[in-house]
């Protein structure tokens, strides 16, 4: 088996690829669900949940929440998973996160809420979901 650092990297790449089955395998091996491995497939210091939300991988988002991922975790830029989902237009992930009590009014480092990011990035379906 790969070293722990490699496992975290592979786990994050599996999440980015939308492979809930691979992600679940790594979680069953005891990988830290909140690990931020420096560079991830999409950015620096993102958790698996943030990656899944940004990629629109609903199966991975649901899996990670079911396995205990912290939906309120903030990366160094103060983004939560719901910020990442709203920014990228992942409306189904926004819905799932909101249903699990993600803070739709949370501010990031620049004072932007998920709604602000959805508007800025022209993600109309996410805007509609966030203003419900």
Give this prediction's pTM: 0.90
pLDDT (tens place) for every residue of the chain, 132 residues total: 456 677 778 888 888 888 999 899 889 999 888 988 666 556 678 899 999 999 999 999 999 999 999 999 999 899 999 999 999 999 999 999 999 999 999 999 999 999 999 999 999 999 999 998
**Cβ 104 vs Cβ 82: under 8 Å:** yes
Provide the b/e sequence for 58-94 (b: ≥16 CB within 10 Å): bebbbbbbeeebebebbbeeebbbbbbbbbbbbbbbb
Collapsing DSSP to helix, strand or coil, 48 comes out as: helix
Share of the chain above pLDDT 70, in %: 92
Report which DSSP code applies to 112: -
H-run or E-run covering 85: helix 81-88
Q: What is the pLDDT of residues 4-19, one digit of tens each?
A: 677 778 888 888 888 9
Q: What is the pLDDT of residue 1?
A: 45
**Cβ 71 vs Cβ 81: under 8 Å:** yes
Collapsing DSSP to helix, strand or coil, 44 comes out as: strand
């Amino acid at each position: 088996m790969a070293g722990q650092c490699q496992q975290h990297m592979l786990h994050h790449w599996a999440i980015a690829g939308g492979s809930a089955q691979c992600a679940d395998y790594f979680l069953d091996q005891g990988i830290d669900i909140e690990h931020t491995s420096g560079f991830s497939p999409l950015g620096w210091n993102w958790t698996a949940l943030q990656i899944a939300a940004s990629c629109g991988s609903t199966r991975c988002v649901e899996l990670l929440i079911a396995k205990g991922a912290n939906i309120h975790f903030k990366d160094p830029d103060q983004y939560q998973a719901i910020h990442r989902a709203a920014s990228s237009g992942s409306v189904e992930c926004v819905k799932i996160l909101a249903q699990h009590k993600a803070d739709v009014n949370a501010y990031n480092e620049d004072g932007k809420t998920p709604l602000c990011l959805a508007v800025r990035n022209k993600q109309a379906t996410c805007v509609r979901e966030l203003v419900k």
